[in-house]
Structure 1
Amino acid sequence: MIVRDLKEARNSERHVFSEGWDSVRLLLKGDQMGFSFHITTIHEGAELQMHYKNHLESVYCISGEGSIEDCATGETHAIRPGVMYALDKHDKHVLRGKTEMVMACCFNPPVTGKEVHGPDGAYALEVDEVA
């Protein structure tokens, strides 16, 4: 059984910071669950272009407001508490924080813990994750 406290994890190497967001990675690849689980804060006013070419992600909004734009279709969806979205086709997207948003995120395959978005908006895939 794995038990972690969000407050404690915020004060550890599991708390990762990047431009426009920060994320507490509560479950990582090393936990051997087959997915990773994060509590991510999207900063107010952030406009994040992302494209998870190597990972699938589902996201649930706990608090705050913003939007997500599907770059393939131009369609924009409002995000508010209670809204979930899943990037089931490695969807290239733009996430915008109207206010600070707190999100619960799940990644498959799991991330290792230190990833930040590359120039293409993606997390790199570890060589051993290809198998």
Structure 2
Amino acid sequence: MVNKICVEAMDRYMRDICRQVNPDSMDTLFGGKIVVFGGDFRQILFVIQKGKRENIAAASLNSSYLWDYVNILDKGNGNAGESEDRVFDIEIPLNLLITDVDDPISSIISTIYPEYLLNLANPQYYVQFLLELMK
């Protein structure tokens, strides 16, 4: 788990970044992007050195303004189905799947990093990329 401040900062950064393309993004959580959190929010707490119980609880994600918008999937509590080998098939809603391309992973990469696939074997591309980041 991370301190709620980290997740809230990510929310603000995503809103700011996404508003460059869609001004309405400032009014939607994470700029309108779906964010998936993993873990058991009942068992894992953020650690605050020498912190009291109330300090730790106040730093957890479920005390954030974001928590009101979190949907907890019902995959725990033994509700994931039956399995003899502890491997479960979890159905992902169709609206979250990329179905209009043959290779969804390449589609995601080429959309986010359009130059990446073209420059896999070009070390100068990465050098230039790093130099731009350091400016």
Q: Could you say whether these structures have the same fold, taking a TM-score greater than 0.5 normalized by the shorter chain as the test?
A: no
TM-score scaled to structure 1, two decimals? 0.21
Higher relative CO (Cα under 8 Å, sequence separation at least 6) belongs to: 1
Larger radius of gyration between Structure 1 and Structure 2: 2
Say which structure is richer in helix: 2
